[in-house]
């Protein structure tokens, strides 16, 4: 009689240390490219997924969310919190972990940290969307908000869209210096700016990623010229937006999953029937993306469960044959499945 759990009871677990090891083993730019491809592939088969808005538990200081989805073969979900006040206490605004499971048996197949992985998949999604929406030959991006997500965004746009210059701005110059330092050996030309206005000069792509839970106005209408692509990723929960309403009115707006974006995205400022285009329909060719050089395109991104699903499946594949995970004894799996109690009895010291 063995007291060791059977293989079926073991779930591979990728810790933060292991995830960092995996990023370095694969190379961050290749991983961002791979993730963009993986996510685009799942957007292309959007209709095969169970979709539901995230399940949110709000409190006065933040939100805890579960984001499940399934394609009928695999099931994935992410746990993620959003607590803007956390940074003031030395904690992350966003932490996350996720799980992939087999729909056929319900047994988990992977548990992984997703704080890093969320930063990677968000950046990959942004850049993948820009590949369909930004002006051709975009080379310069304004990066407004230089917090935890900023460098990942910059590298994804380099790897996926061919951006060679980033113009950084944050209301806190310390954050801008941090991002510039982190990007100094990236191959990007990095320009630090003293205002949003300065940051967007000459940029074909404007990424906004600021974190305060309030109706903010990072960009006002008079700042935005024609022809740019705006990648708005910071407005992602009720009461949190970044762009002036007038910019939205001049833009063609692309979203992930409308029932979620209407509540959480920039478009919470607009009428519920304001026209938007679902990104997956652009990717499949059902709807046009960018039509001309003067159009302002806006990707109103709030993050959707399918992006996490793609990332989870990618990690599950990527760790095979590596030592970048450990096996967790997460599931009870007695030899006789009806004899859970007997398994407990045999474990008596």
Contact positions with a second copy (CB under 8 A) in 7-36? 8-9, 13, 15-17, 20-21, 23-24, 28
How far are the Cα atoms of 186, 233, 301, 337 from residue 242, in angstroms, in the given order? Answer: 28, 9, 12, 53
Q: Which of 130, 148, 206, 230 binds a second copy (CB under 8 A)?
A: 148
Give dist(CA 313, CA 112) in Å, integer: 11
Is 177 an interacting residue with respect to a second copy (CB under 8 A)?
Answer: no
Per-residue x/- marks for a second copy, 94-133, CB under 8 A? -x-x-x-x-xxxxxx----x-xx--x--------------
Q: Which of 43, 46, 152, 257 binds a second copy (CB under 8 A)?
A: 152
Describe the crossing of helices 150-161 and 173-182 by its angle, rounded to 10 degrees: 40
Residue count of the chain: 349
Q: Which of 165, 182, 192, 284 binds a second copy (CB under 8 A)?
A: 182
Judged by beta carbon, residue 108 or residue 135, the one nearer a second copy is 108
Catalytic residue list contains 221: no
Is 92 an interacting residue with respect to a second copy (CB under 8 A)?
Answer: yes
Q: How far is the CB of 269 from a second copy (least distance, A)?
A: 26
Judged by beta carbon, residue 72 or residue 288, the one nearer a second copy is 72
DSSP string, 234-286: S--BTTBEEE-HHHHHHEEEEES-HHHHHHHSGGGGS-TT---EEHHHHHTTS
**From the candidates 236, 273, 308, 323, which is the catalytic residue?**
236
Q: Which stretch binds a second copy (CB under 8 A): 159-167, 173-181, 199-207, 278-286?
A: 173-181
Nearest to 337 by CA among 111, 76, 99, 9: 9
Restricting to residues 254-313, name those near a second copy by CB under 8 A: none
Is 89 an interacting residue with respect to a second copy (CB under 8 A)?
Answer: yes
Six token digits for residue 259: 């029932």
Residue in the block written with tokens 């990424």: 207
Give dist(CA 119, CA 28) in Å, integer: 12
- φ, ψ for residue 151, nearest 5 deg: -65, -35
Give dist(CA 108, CA 141) in Å, integer: 40
Is 337 an interacting residue with respect to a second copy (CB under 8 A)?
Answer: yes
Q: Which of 125, 138, 146, 297 binds a second copy (CB under 8 A)?
A: 146
Is 217 an interacting residue with respect to a second copy (CB under 8 A)?
Answer: no
Judged by beta carbon, residue 285 or residue 337, the one nearer a second copy is 337
Is 349 an interacting residue with respect to a second copy (CB under 8 A)?
Answer: yes
Instruction: Give the number of other Cβ atoms within 10 Å of residue 225's Cβ.
Output: 11
Q: Which residues are catalytic, by number?
A: 236
């Amino acid at each position: 009689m063995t007291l060791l759990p059977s293989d079926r009871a073991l779930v591979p677990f990728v810790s933060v240390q292991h995830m960092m090891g995996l990023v370095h083993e694969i190379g961050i730019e290749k991983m961002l490219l791979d993730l963009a491809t993986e996510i685009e592939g799942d957007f292309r088969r959007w209709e095969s997924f169970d979709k539901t808005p995230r399940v949110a538990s709000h409190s006065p200081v933040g939100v805890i969310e579960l984001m499940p989805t399934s394609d009928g073969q695999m099931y994935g979900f992410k746990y993620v919190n959003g607590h803007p006040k956390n940074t003031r206490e030395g904690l992350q605004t966003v932490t996350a972990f996720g799980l992939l499971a087999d729909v056929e048996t319900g047994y988990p197949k992977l548990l992984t940290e997703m704080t890093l992985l969320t930063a990677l998949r968000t950046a990959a999604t942004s850049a993948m969307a820009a590949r369909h929406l930004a002006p051709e030959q975009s080379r310069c991006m304004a990066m407004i908000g230089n917090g935890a997500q900023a460098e990942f965004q910059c590298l994804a746009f380099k790897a996926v869209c061919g951006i060679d210059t980033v113009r950084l701005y944050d209301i806190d110059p310390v954050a801008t210096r941090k991002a510039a330092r982190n990007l100094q050996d990236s191959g990007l030309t990095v320009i630090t700016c003293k205002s949003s206005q300065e940051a967007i000069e000459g940029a074909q792509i404007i990424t906004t990623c600021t974190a305060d839970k309030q109706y903010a106005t990072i960009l006002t209408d008079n700042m935005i010229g024609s022809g740019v692509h705006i990648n708005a990723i910071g407005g992602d929960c009720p009461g949190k937006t970044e762009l002036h309403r007038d910019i939205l009115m001049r833009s063609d707006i692309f979203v992930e999953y409308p029932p979620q974006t209407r509540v959480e995205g920039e478009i919470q400022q607009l009428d519920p029937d304001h026209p938007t285009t679902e990104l997956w329909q652009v990717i499949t060719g059902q709807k046009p993306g960018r039509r001309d050089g003067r159009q302002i395109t806006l990707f109103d991104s709030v993050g959707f469960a399918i992006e996490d699903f793609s990332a989870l499946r990618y990690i599950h594949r990527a760790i095979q044959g590596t030592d970048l995970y450990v096996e967790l004894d997460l599931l009870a799996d007695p030899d006789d499945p009806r004899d859970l109690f007997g398994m407990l009895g045999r474990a008596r010291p």
